[in-house]
Amino acid sequence: MANSVRTFKGMTPNFGDKVFVDPMATVIGDVTLGDDCSVWPNTVIRGDMHTIKVGKRCSLQDGSILHITHASDYNPDGYPLTLGDEVTVGHMVMLHGCTIGSRVLIGMQAMVMDGAVIEDNVVLGAGSLVPPGKTLESGFLYVGRPAKQIRPLTDKELSYFSYTAGNYVKLKDQHIAEGYDKID
C-alpha cells in the first residue's frame, strides 16, 4: 500500500477494481472508492472522523478536498460524504459532508457544504457555492455563489456525464499501464 493511502483508527481505505490513486494524492481512513475511480495529484480524501463513499467511474481531480462533518453535540449524526456513480469532480473542488447523486459534473473550484444534496444529472458551474442544507434538483445547470438554478440541461449535456466518466476511465487506465499507480 502506498504511503499516500493510510489507515486511521483501524479503518483502511477500500478500493474497487482498477482504481487509480496518484502517488501525490492522499486517502485516509473510512473511505470506499468504487470500480474504475481515479484520484489525481494533490487530492485529499479524509475519512478520519466519518465515512466517505464514492461510487463507480468517478474522477476526483487535482487539488480537490473531500471531507466530512464529524458527530458532536452540535450535530449529533455528523454528515458523511457520499458520491454516486459517474461523478466528475473538477480541479480544486471542496466537498464537505454532502451528498452527490449520480451523473454529476462539479466545476472547478466549486464548494458544496455540510448537509447539501445534489441530485442525479446536475451540472454545478465552476466557482459555485452550494450552502449548507441546500438541495439542487435533478436535470438542471446551477451557477453562482450561492448556486442558483439557471436552466434545464440539454440532451447533449445529459449524455456528456457518461462520456466524461468513460474518458477519465481510459486516462487512468493509461496511467496504470505506465506504472503510475500504487494500488494492487
User: Is 111 part of a structural domain of the chain?
Assistant: yes
Question: Measured at the alpha carbon of residue 116, what is the angle toward residues 114 and 118, in degrees to the nearest 5?
Answer: 140
Predicted pLDDT of residue 184: 47
User: Is 59 part of a structural domain of the chain?
Assistant: yes
Contact 27, 41 (CB under 8 A): no
CA separation for the pair 55, 47 (Å, rounded): 15
Class of residue 9 by CB neighbours under 10 A (exposed 0-12, middle 13-18, buried 19+): exposed
User: Is 182 part of a structural domain of the chain?
Assistant: no
User: Is 184 part of a structural domain of the chain?
Assistant: no
User: Is 108 part of a structural domain of the chain?
Assistant: yes
Predicted pLDDT of residue 1: 42
User: Is 171 part of a structural domain of the chain?
Assistant: yes
User: Is 183 part of a structural domain of the chain?
Assistant: no
Number of folded domains that form the chain: 1
Predicted pLDDT of residue 179: 86
Domain assignment of residue 25, given as a range = 5-177
User: Is 170 part of a structural domain of the chain?
Assistant: yes
Predicted pLDDT of residue 147: 98
What are the residue ranges in the chain where pLDDT is below 70? 1-3, 181-184
> Which residues are 8's β-sheet partners?
11
Residue 119: which CATH number? 2.160.10.10
Predicted pLDDT of residue 180: 77
Residues in CB range of 74: below 8 A, 6 or more apart:
none
How many other C-beta atoms can be found within 10 angstroms of the C-beta atom of residue 92? Answer: 18
**Reported pTM:** 0.94
What torsion, rounded to 10 degrees, do the Cα atoms 25, 90, 58, 31 define?
40
CA separation for the pair 63, 70 (Å, rounded): 22
Phi, psi of 159 (to 5 degrees): -75, -20
Question: CA of 137: how far to CAs of 19, 47, 60, 153, in Å?
Answer: 30, 27, 22, 11
Predicted pLDDT of residue 181: 64
